[in-house]
Amino acid sequence: MNFKKVVLGTLVVLGVAAVGGWFSLDKETRGLLATVPTNRDLLFWTQPQRDAAFRALDRLPILAKVNVVPASGTPSALPVGAPLRPTSDIDAYMAGQRSAALLVVHDGKLRLERYGLGFDGNGRWTSFSVAKSFTSTLVGAAVKDGFIKSLDDKVSVYIPDLKGSAYDDVSVRQLLTMTSGVKWNEDYADPNSDVAQFNNHKPDAGVEALVSYMRKLPRDVPAGTRWHYSTGETNLVGTLVQQATKRPLATYLAEKVWGPAAMEQQATWILSKTGKEIGGCCIQAAARDYARVGQFILNGAMVNGKSIVPDGWWAEATTKRTDINQPERGYGYQWWTYDDGSYAARGIFGQGIFIDPKRKLVIVSNANWAGGARDPVAMAAREAFYREVQKSIDDEGVAPAK
C-alpha cells in the first residue's frame, strides 16, 4: 500500500483512491475479489465477498478512508512455547469456525498459531466489535490523563451536539455499559435496523456523522434501568474520547497501546463519512498484534511500571457491571465478562480476544462464520473451545513431572 510516511506524529489520514486501492491489493486477494462488494452494507455481502473483504477492508474503494496506527520499530517478543494439545481436532474446529486465524498465548508464549481461508500472519483482518474493547481502554487512559473528569459526567459535557437529545441525561458510565435506555435496533439480519442504516445516514451540516444519527434516536426506558447491546453507543464513546482528548482515536491508540505494546505491524481504523474513526468497529490488524494487545491488557497495560489506566480500572472494566440474562455472564466496560474472572472482546462473524488472567491465557480468533454475524452454532463451539483450552492448561498443571 502507498501510505504516506508518518512525520512527527503517530497518524496518517489516508484517502485511498479506487484504482490505487485496488492495485495495492496482493494478487491472491484481487483474485478472491472477483466479485467486489459495491456497497457499504457489509452485513449483506455474500460469503465469498466477506472472505476476501475482511482481509482488505481498509483497501476497498467503498470503505478505504482510514487512519493508520504505525507499527513499532522494535516489536515485542512473542516467543514460541511448547505446542498446546487440546483434546479436539483443531482442523475440524477451524473448519467449523471458518477460521482465518487461531492463536493461543499462554504465560507469554505462543503455543498455537494456525491460519485458514488463505490468510496468514502477514495480513490484517478486520476486528468488527473487538474494537469496542480497544475504545473502552482509551476511555480509561483519558480518565488517567485527566481528559475525562468522571465516568458519572453526562455524555453531553463532552459531546455538546447531544444536548437536547435522549442522550442528554446519560452518563459516560451508562454509555460504557450500554445502559443508556435509548432505543436502538442491533438486528444484523434487518436491513432497516439502526446498525445497518447508520453508515448510510446523511449527517447534519457541521455535525459528526455518528452523532448526527444518534441524537435523533428516542428514549425507550429510563437511563440505567436496562442493558441493551448497541454499536451506536460505542460509536459515541469513540466520539467522546476524540472530543475530550482533542485527537483522533488512532493517534491515541498509537500513543497508549500500539507503541507501548510494541506492535509488529501497522493497524488501520476505518473512518465515518465525516472523517472520524468509528469507535464501535473496524480496526484492521495482524493476528499476532491482536495477541499482543491481549497480552498487554493481561499484564495490566503497564508502561515503565505504570498503568495507562487508573487504579482499579481493570477490576471494574472486565467484571460484570450489568446483567445480560445469561448464566455466569455479564457486561463490563465494553468487555463481555465471565463469572470465573475471564473476559472477552467479541466481533461479528467470529472475531475475538479471550483473556483469562488466572491462567495467563490469551486466545485470538479471526473468522468468517458461515451462519452469519451471530452464528449460534459457531459461537457455542468457540465457547466450548475456550473451556477446552482452559482444561488443557489445568491438566498440564497437575501432570506428573517427567
User: What does the pLDDT read at residue 13?
Assistant: 33
Residue pair 106/397 in contact (Cβ under 8 Å)? The answer is no
Model confidence over 162-202: pLDDT tens digits? Answer: 999 999 999 999 999 999 999 999 999 999 999 988 877 88
Nearest to 290 by CA among 68, 113, 145, 170: 113
Judge whether 215 and 162 are in contact, CB under 8 Å.
Answer: yes
Does this model's pTM top 0.85? yes
pLDDT at 200: 79
DSSP class of residue 311? Answer: T
The span from the CA of 146 to the CA of 26, in Å, is 43
Residue numbers in the chain where pLDDT is lower than 50:
1-23, 400-402
pLDDT on residue 31: 53
Q: Which backbone phi and psi does 248 adopt, to 5 degrees?
A: -65, 155
pLDDT in tens, 249-289: 999 999 999 999 999 999 999 998 889 999 999 999 999 99
* CA–CA dist 331, 319 (Å, integer): 7
pLDDT at 60 (0 to 100): 87
The rounded distance, in Å, linking the Cα atoms of 51 and 368 is: 7
Q: What does the pLDDT read at residue 29? A: 55
**Please, are residues 281 and 128 in contact by the beta-carbon 8 Å criterion?**
yes
Q: What is the pLDDT of residue 38?
A: 59
- Confidence at residue 18, expressed as pLDDT on a 0 to 100 scale: 35
